[in-house]
RNA sequence: GCCCUCGUGGUGAAAUUGGUAGACACAAAGGACUUAAAAUCCUUGCCCUUUUGGGAGUGCCAGUUCGAGUCUGGCCGAGGGCACCA
């Protein structure tokens, strides 16, 4: 028996699909569309197993939808701007453009070898002028709509990458890429007014039924809506400060007020500029620890001013004003009113500085004598010691009632606060989309006229400079328009801007005049299925949702708010980790299993420590190269294996044995195929073969259901089941009727997972063509007349009967008795 | 600390959503073929019983139901997210 030659067969079909434009998509309003999009990759040089998994999942869905008769848009592109290119180019004396383009070429080749059903005619790259010139237009449009603004403020400065980071890019006080401790620096930056849409972004989540709950919860928390009250406190003291505004969610505890605390960056800090003690305090604040957690549990420290704050509902009560390390400048007003009895932070602070702790809420099961002693009480209860607020139920009623009273007395007003802050998009980097802005001699910014777009990135650049190479490139930076001299903005846009609208570009990848064509977008958008890693749950997905709204804003003939109708977040690909006795990481190729031990391949002696299975990463060397695997086992085997074992949303464990068994399975399927072909040739008369017909029908139903529900691991099990059934069936039935028809249906069901193999088999039966349809199944055949009926008495199985399904109840009872 | 998700064999996991728990695969043990190995194929997988059978069993404890892996409440454990957000 000839072996299945995956190499020549996979090449044959990949060439066929390319030559015949099988996956080239055109707008066709007579057909229902399906837009399947996977998160596009960063062109780092080679694809990794994570890509293989992500794109295989998307490909199964795309191929299935195509067979179901949908007009499928399944594009691919490159998230091609970003720092690695700049660093690699500098280290290897290349241009970032060349490094990126050669990586793209290589990765495109690798993706093609996976046999993905991608319309490569729509390929886009965010670093090409064709792409970023439209992005610059969007930037200017957003500027016109006042959704972009410039402001000077403190930024997260990464001293290693020498750039600004968004809040989301700071993890545990360190840069997400470099790992360097982030510093505070004051800079002028461009901002997208994402916070304008806080409420809308929150409301939109409600309608995203086909998004994982986890992601919605993360976005909800990130937006961080809180309902409360703005209170204006009168201030007394020897400084020209008359009042300080605070935001609070618990105005009902105002009678427990015992101090007021402001951030060290609060505007009143200007009066303390020459105060040495204050400057020292400020220093101490920045030293309280590096990780967020350390700060959270760290000491509460304060600096007492001579100012006193007056309790607005008890004007004879005055409390001290402090600067405190735990008050954040960029939330609320950078000032809080302290009620130690009912807020743990305030409690800790009050204990430290011996401030008054006055109980104003009692739990339901305690009486009026209840007193907060060892920790703050922030639970529900009843208001006490609060004059006209006494007896209100806290917090729900009491908060609303208190706000009403404060509003009536003009002491405060209802306010809703969001944690979500505006998106700083300026990056002090070369390899990004230039911001289309110029400044006159006074430093006033002007938009670059749209007719002069794109602002091209200069090709020849010296990367061996500190900071942004663009800022020292004079011949690019300085321009003259109508005799007037300007300097260009040298910051480039955060690469997350590029990925915030690429899904629109795929609809009209070749449109010259604008980023997209309305007719295309009306037809293709929204993305019906978006697939990618959960690590983008907040950043990329929130920014994309913002961008769609920003384009919609003040645009009456455009009406799509949510770019991604459904979202699927796939799990990571994991592998065991290995360390030698010097604690060096070893790659899977460097080890060998001997009996119960794992040893070093090079000397076969040294015992290797096997660590837990973790997400594949270069630093831990637990990576398996897809190119190597595809070369050895073929694309179909890899696709099959990456889908088997674990549900797509969970992490999958890479195993060599599993991979080999998938490969063997393809070989076994091929042997089976050849036997079936012989049987088919010997087939004489057309006659319905009932048992096989029933099996096929059931299997089609199962696989259809499993594709729809993303149970791709179960599809693989279904494929094994089918093989086990057929191999046995062929052995025990010498004269098989009607086999060809059923077998073809089965091949089509397998085709989303192993497309090269099934195409070859169908071709072998002279049945491969572009008009193939997903087989339907007969629901009535599923409800077969004979069913297994389990007789249970008190939940225990007592008998197993094979009975007719439409039997009368009384007859059934008779049989049982 | 707050929020979310999940607990099924040695392992990854199935279970048409309340109806025969463990499909399918990996690993293991035993066997067949072979001079031998590899490959391939078959069998086994908790407890009692020689077999036929029977029993327990989906983290733990209760509850609802003729019937619970699935629903409800409480507890225990694991993973993830957020974290001085007033």
pLDDT tens figures, A398-433 = 999 999 999 999 999 999 999 999 998 998 889 999
CA of A112 to C1' of B13 (A): 31
CA of A287 to C1' of B83 (A): 19
Residue-wise burial string across A479-496, b where 16 or more C-beta atoms lie within 10 A, e elsewhere: eeeeeeebbbbbbbbbbb
Residue nearest to nucleotide B67 (CA to C1'): A795
User: pTM of this prediction?
Assistant: 0.92
Cβ–Cβ under 8 Å, residues A399 and A414: no
pLDDT value for A12: 97
Structure tokens at A529: 């299925």
Q: How far apart are CA A576 and CA A795, in angstroms?
A: 43
Q: How far apart are CA A330 and CA A333, in angstroms?
A: 7
CB-facing half-sphere around the CA of A493: CA atoms within 13 A: 29
Q: How far apart are CA A713 and CA A223, in angstroms?
A: 35
Q: How far apart are CA A259 and CA A349, in angstroms?
A: 10
pLDDT value for A409: 92
Q: Considering all nucleic acid strands, name the nucleotide whose C1' atom is nearest to the C-alpha of residue A326.
A: B84
Cβ–Cβ under 8 Å, residues A804 and A774: no
Cα angle value A777/A780/A782 (rounded, 5°) = 65
Cβ–Cβ under 8 Å, residues A209 and A225: no
Residue nearest to nucleotide B27 (CA to C1'): A657
pLDDT value for A796: 46
CA of A812 to C1' of B51 (A): 33
For residue A320, pLDDT beyond 60: yes
pLDDT value for A175: 74
Residue nearest to nucleotide B80 (CA to C1'): A214
Q: Where are the alpha helices (DSSP H) in A383-537?
A: 396-408, 474-477, 495-498, 502-505, 518-524
Cβ–Cβ under 8 Å, residues A659 and A637: yes
CA of A712 to C1' of B44 (A): 30
Which ipTM value was assigned to this complex? 0.94
Q: Considering all nucleic acid strands, name the nucleotide whose C1' atom is nearest to the C-alpha of residue A298.
A: B84
What does the pLDDT look like over A307-318, one tens digit per residue?
A: 999 999 999 999
Cβ–Cβ under 8 Å, residues A633 and A662: yes
Q: Considering all nucleic acid strands, name the nucleotide whose C1' atom is nearest to the C-alpha of residue A719.
A: B24
Indicate the pLDDT class of residue A800, thresholds 50, 70 and 90. very low
Q: What percent of chain A has pLDDT over 70?
A: 91
Q: Considering all nucleic acid strands, name the nucleotide whose C1' atom is nearest to the C-alpha of residue A346.
A: B86
CA of A63 to C1' of B41 (A): 36
Chain B: bases < 7 Å from a protein Cβ: 3-5, 11-17, 19-21, 23-27, 39-41, 55-56, 66-68, 81-86
| Across A18-32, A43-57, A450-464, A746-760, least confident range | A450-464
Mean pLDDT of chain A: 88
Q: Considering all nucleic acid strands, name the nucleotide whose C1' atom is nearest to the C-alpha of residue A718.
A: B24
Report the Cα A521 to chain-centroid distance in Å.
Answer: 23
What does the pLDDT look like over A590-621, one tens digit per residue?
A: 887 776 677 887 777 788 888 888 889 888 88
DSSP A39: P
Mean pLDDT confidence for A142-169:
82
Q: Considering all nucleic acid strands, name the nucleotide whose C1' atom is nearest to the C-alpha of residue A421.
A: B85
Q: Considering all nucleic acid strands, name the nucleotide whose C1' atom is nearest to the C-alpha of residue A262.
A: B86
Q: How far apart are CA A334 and CA A261, in angstroms?
A: 9
pLDDT value for A228: 93
For residue A85, pLDDT beyond 60: yes
What does the pLDDT look like over A211-223, one tens digit per residue?
A: 999 999 999 999 9
CA of A797 to C1' of B51 (A): 21
Residue nearest to nucleotide B68 (CA to C1'): A795
Cβ–Cβ under 8 Å, residues A703 and A747: no
Q: How far apart are CA A619 and CA A610, in angstroms?
A: 16
| Across A45-54, A68-77, A153-162, A361-370, least confident range | A153-162
CA of A699 to C1' of B43 (A): 28
Residue among A422, A373, A539 nearest A155 (CA): A422
Q: How far apart are CA A319 and CA A559, in angstroms?
A: 53
CA of A484 to C1' of B40 (A): 83
Q: Considering all nucleic acid strands, name the nucleotide whose C1' atom is nearest to the C-alpha of residue A331.
A: B85
CA of A749 to C1' of B63 (A): 45
CA of A814 to C1' of B46 (A): 36
Indicate the pLDDT class of residue A805, thresholds 50, 70 and 90. very low
pLDDT higher for A497 or A791? A497
Please, what's the largest Cα pairwise distance for chain A?
A: 108
CA of A799 to C1' of B64 (A): 26
Q: Is A570 exposed, middle or buried (0-12, 13-18, 19+ CB in 10 A)?
A: buried
pLDDT value for A273: 86
Q: Considering all nucleic acid strands, name the nucleotide whose C1' atom is nearest to the C-alpha of residue A653.
A: B12
For residue A744, pLDDT beyond 50: yes
Indicate the pLDDT class of residue A577, thresholds 50, 70 and 90. confident
CA of A795 to C1' of B65 (A): 11
Residue nearest to nucleotide B26 (CA to C1'): A658
For residue A247, pLDDT beyond 60: yes
Q: Considering all nucleic acid strands, name the nucleotide whose C1' atom is nearest to the C-alpha of residue A727.
A: B41
pLDDT value for A784: 53
Cβ–Cβ under 8 Å, residues A724 and A730: no
């Amino acid at each position: 028996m000839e072996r299945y030659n995956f190499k020549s067969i996979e090449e044959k079909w990949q060439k066929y699909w390319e030559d015949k434009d099988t996956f080239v998509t055109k707008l066709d309003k007579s057909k229902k569309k399906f837009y399947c999009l996977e998160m596009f990759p960063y062109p780092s040089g080679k694809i990794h197993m994570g890509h293989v998994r992500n794109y295989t999942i998307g490909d199964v869905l795309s191929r299935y939808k195509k067979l179901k008769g949908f007009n499928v848009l399944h594009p691919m592109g490159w998230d091609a701007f970003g720092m690695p290119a700049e660093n690699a180019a500098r280290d290897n004396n290349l241009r970032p453009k060349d490094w990126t383009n050669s990586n793209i070429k290589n990765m495109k080749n690798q993706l093609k070898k996976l046999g993905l059903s991608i319309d490569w005619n729509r390929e886009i790259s965010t670093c090409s002028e064709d792409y970023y010139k439209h992005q610059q237009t969007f930037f200017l449009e957003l500027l016109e709509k006042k959704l972009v603004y410039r402001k000077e403020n403190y930024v997260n400065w990464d001293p290693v990458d020498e750039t600004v980071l968004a809040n989301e890019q700071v993890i545990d006080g360190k840069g997400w890429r470099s790992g360097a401790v982030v510093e505070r620096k004051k800079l002028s930056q461009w901002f997208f007014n994402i916070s304008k849409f806080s409420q809308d972004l929150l409301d939109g989540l409600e309608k995203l039924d086909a998004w994982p709950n986890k992601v919605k919860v993360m976005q909800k928390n990130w937006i961080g809506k809180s309902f409360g009250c703005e209170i204006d406190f009168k201030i007394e003291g020897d400084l020209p400060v008359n009042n300080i505004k605070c935001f609070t969610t618990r105005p009902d505890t105002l009678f427990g007020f015992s101090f007021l605390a402001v951030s060290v960056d609060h505007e009143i800090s200007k009066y303390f500029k020459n105060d040495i003690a204050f400057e020292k305090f400020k220093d101490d604040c920045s030293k309280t620890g590096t990780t967020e957690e350390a700060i959270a549990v760290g000491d509460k420290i304060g600096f007492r001013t001579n100012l006193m704050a007056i309790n607005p509902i008890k004007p004879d009560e005055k409390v001290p004003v402090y600067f405190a390390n735990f008050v954040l400048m960029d939330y609320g007003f950078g000032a809080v009113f302290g009620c130690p009895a009912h807020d743990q932070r305030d409690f800790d602070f009050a204990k430290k500085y011996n401030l008054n702790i006055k109980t104003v809420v009692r739990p339901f099961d305690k009486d009026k004598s209840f007193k907060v002693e060892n920790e703050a009480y922030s639970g529900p209860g009843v208001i006490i010691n609060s004059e006209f607020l006494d007896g209100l139920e806290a917090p729900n009623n009491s908060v609303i009632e208190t706000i009403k009273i404060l509003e009536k007395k003009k002491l405060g007003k209802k306010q809703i606060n969001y944690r979500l802050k505006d998106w700083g998009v300026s990056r002090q980097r070369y390899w990004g989309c230039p911001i289309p802005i110029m400044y006159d001699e006074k430093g006033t910014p002007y938009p670059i006229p749209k007719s002069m777009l794109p602002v091209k990135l200069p090709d020849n650049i010296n990367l061996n400079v500190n900071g942004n190479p663009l800022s020292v490139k004079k011949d690019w930076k300085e321009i003259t328009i109508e005799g007037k001299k300007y300097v260009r903005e040298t910051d480039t846009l955060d690469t997350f801007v590029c990925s915030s609208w690429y899904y629109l570009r795929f609809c009209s990848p070749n449109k010259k005049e604008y980023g997209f064509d309305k007719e295309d977008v009306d037809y293709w958008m929204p993305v019906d299925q978006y697939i990618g890693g959960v690590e983008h749950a907040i950043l990329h997905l929130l920014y994309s949702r913002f961008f769609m709204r920003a384009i919609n804003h003040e645009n009456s003939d455009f009406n799509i708010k949510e770019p991604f109708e459904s979202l699927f977040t796939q799990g990571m690909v994991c592998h065991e980790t290995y360390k030698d006795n010097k604690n060096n990481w070893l790659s899977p190729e460097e080890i060998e299993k001997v009996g119960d031990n794992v040893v070093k391949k090079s000397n076969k002696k040294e015992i290797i420590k096997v660590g837990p299975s973790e997400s594949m990463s270069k630093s831990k060397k637990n990576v398996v190269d897809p190119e190597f695997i595809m070369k050895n086992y073929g694309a179909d085997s890899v696709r099959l294996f990456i889908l088997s074992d674990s549900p797509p949303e969970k992490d999958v464990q890479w195993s060599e044995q599993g991979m080999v068994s998938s490969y063997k399975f393809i070989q076994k399927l091929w042997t089976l195929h050849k036997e079936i072909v012989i049987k088919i040739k010997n087939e004489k008369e057309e006659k319905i073969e009932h048992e096989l017909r029933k099996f096929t029908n059931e299997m089609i139903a199962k696989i259809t259901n499993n594709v729809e529900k993303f149970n791709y691991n179960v599809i693989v099990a279904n494929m094994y089941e089918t093989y086990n059934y057929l191999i046995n069936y062929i052995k025990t039935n010498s004269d098989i009727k009607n086999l060809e028809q059923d077998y073809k249906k089965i091949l089509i069901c397998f085709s989303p997972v192993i497309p090269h193999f099934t195409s070859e088999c169908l071709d072998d039966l002279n049945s491969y063509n572009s008009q193939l349809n997903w087989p339907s199944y007969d629901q009535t055949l599923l409800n077969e007349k004979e069913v297994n009926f389990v007789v249970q008495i008190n939940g225990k199985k007592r008998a197993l009967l094979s009975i007719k399904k439409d039997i009368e109840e009384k007859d059934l009872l008779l049989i049982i008795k």
